[in-house]
Amino acid sequence: MKTRWYKDAVIYQIYPRSFCDGNGDGIGDIRGIVSKLDYIKSLGVDAVWLSPVYKSPNDDNGYDISDYRDIMDEFGTLDDWKEMVKGMHERGIKLIMDLVVNHTSDEHKWFIESRKNNSEYRDYYIWQKGRGKNGKKPPNNWKSSFVGPAWEYDKESGEWYLHLFSKKQPDLNWDNPKVRQEVADICNYWFDLGVDGFRCDVITYISKKEGYPNGSASYTVGPHYHEYIHELNERSFSKYDSMTVGEAIGITPDNATESIDESVGEMDTVFSFDHMQIDYKYGFLPAKFNLVKYKNILARWQSLPKTCQPTIYLENHDQPRCLPRFVGDYKDKREKAGMSLATAMMFLRATPYIYQGQEIGMTNCHFEEEEFKDIASLRVFELVKKICPILMPYVKKVMNRRARDHARTPMQWSADKYAGFSTAEPWMKVNPNYKEINVEDSEKREDSLLNYYRKAIRYRKGNEVIIKGGFELVYPEDKRIFAYMREYNGKKILVIANYKNKTVKFRVPEKLLYTDCKLVLSNYADAPQKLDNMTLREYEALVYELD
């Protein structure tokens, strides 16, 4: 029976390679996660989303899977994994695994066999004849997310295979019913081992238009997407008290009910991208953050029926750190800025996701060109050097603001060597600010960002106004303040967050002026107990219960 526990849950994302190294080889692993389970419990979170730990050649750090039923050697063994799950469940923490089934690794046994024209696995992947003389041009104009064509020519079979990501990540052919059954079997395998749900990687790419016409719209929320996800839900997800969240490019507030309404039997929730795209120009160049657009996008998700559960996140393994992105030059107010962002995020009607290090205010890291590790970064540099090397200084500047590498620097546990992440040199650069920004220091200070997250999570837990209440923006056109009302059964909560590193005047709406209130959360010790017109200090955040 589905309890829909995720509606009252806060979820913590772990990127295992960068979380904690348990065996001293410089790479985060499952033993490292086990050693930090008490810390995770102390946050008050309900579940962990674990980025891929399956067998993988690591072309894309685990998102290229060669065996869905075993653990990558660098991360440990299946027995280590079972111990981790047992430890999580003993602490009341659920586990959400990453389900990467739009594609596999080219080293998966299915693909190795698929390269043979007469193999039973040939139709597990998408093979097409090329265009032009002798078929030496790709079948269409689709581009890989990692730069270049989305097709790779295979001399052995004389055809092209599709890879919407790296050429070592061939796309599965979901039109083949055998593939869909394989995926359901994989899900059930992990459910039976104790998994509580899945985050479904680029799931809206699984259905491609027949004939593979030009244009990326031909593979985003394709013609059979809903049919295939509904089928997977029937064969797997619905059989367990699980939760699923889809990485859902193409799903917006306008069409979300078709995918996540409880009546449709598909995904439980999705990650939206629209609120993370407003500070980009042309889809990839950094632009100034626009708080008004940001608030209005989130308000549209809040307006969905109560049978649809939104999500909210500020960081993940694919995004740079949130502080410089959303609040500008925070200078010496890093933690206050982090508290303001946390306040606005945590009390929406949504399932909040906190990415490792976000709770202590980890920041972007400056990288020299040779220090970037992510395949996406490396492909960008490769392409620019090839077509326009004069742009390299600008591109390096852009990547030092927006590369995925920023989220993958090792977790900063202490001021010890290598930030307490490992006893050996880590696989990736440690941010030099680890001596000032780390868990050990944050634990010592009651007024730290870490302890503020704990307070916010405690207040949110079981709060019906937050879980079920309506939503109304206060001053939606204000460029400096994110404020909103939540209301349920006559109870109200007012959330106020200053997004600026300067004082800002806040005028209480007339309908709230004479309301009795109680201050329940603030990031300044001397915050006003009474709700009245006020001057908000730098990044000041306030939460009032109204009667």
**Torsion, CA 135, CA 136, CA 138, CA 139, rounded to 10:** 0
**What is the largest distance, in Å, between two alpha-carbon atoms of the chain?**
79
Does the domain at 109-162 match CATH 2.60.40.290? Answer given as no
Q: Please give the Cα distance from 266 to 405 (Å, whole number).
A: 32
- The set of long-range contacts for 383-388, using a CB threshold of 8 Å and a minimum separation of 24, is 383/147, 383/148
Distance of CA 460 to the CA centre of its chain: 21
Cβ–Cβ under 8 Å, residues 19 and 33 = yes
If you ran DSSP here, which 8-state letter would residue 354 be given? Answer: E
Cβ–Cβ under 8 Å, residues 102 and 164 = yes
Fold annotation for 5-103+177-367+409-456 = TIM Barrel (3.20.20)
Residue 259: φ, ψ to 5°: -110, -35
CATH of 469-546 among 3.30.200.20, 2.60.40.1180, 3.40.50.2300, 1.10.10.10? 2.60.40.1180
- Helix-, strand-, coil-residue percentages of the chain, each rounded to 5: 35, 20, 45
| Residue 258: predicted pLDDT | 97
CB contact set of 462 (below 8 Å; sequence gap of 6+): 8
| Residue 283: predicted pLDDT | 66
pLDDT, one tens digit for every residue, the chain (547 residues): 899 999 999 999 999 999 999 999 999 999 999 999 999 999 999 999 999 999 999 999 999 999 999 999 999 999 999 999 999 999 999 999 999 999 999 999 999 999 988 899 999 999 999 998 888 899 999 999 888 899 999 998 899 999 999 999 999 999 999 999 999 999 999 999 999 999 999 999 999 999 999 887 788 999 999 999 999 999 999 999 999 999 999 999 999 999 999 999 999 999 988 999 888 876 667 888 999 999 999 999 999 999 999 999 999 999 999 998 999 889 899 999 999 999 999 999 999 999 999 999 999 999 999 999 999 999 999 999 999 999 999 999 999 999 999 999 999 999 999 999 999 999 999 999 999 999 999 999 999 999 999 999 999 999 999 999 999 999 999 999 999 999 999 999 999 999 999 999 999 998 888 778 999 999 999 999 999 999 999 999 999 999 8
Just list the catalytic residues: 201, 247
The domain limits of the chain are 5-103+177-367+409-456, 109-162, 368-402, 469-546
Distance of CA 535 to the CA centre of its chain: 34
Coil, helix or strand at residue 343:
helix
Residue 432: φ, ψ to 5°: -60, -15
| Residue 38: predicted pLDDT | 98
Cβ–Cβ under 8 Å, residues 301 and 310 = yes
Residue 102: φ, ψ to 5°: -75, -30
Strand partners, 483: 474, 496
CB contact set of 289 (below 8 Å; sequence gap of 6+): 278, 279, 325, 326, 327, 328
Residue 389: both structure tokens together: 């090397």
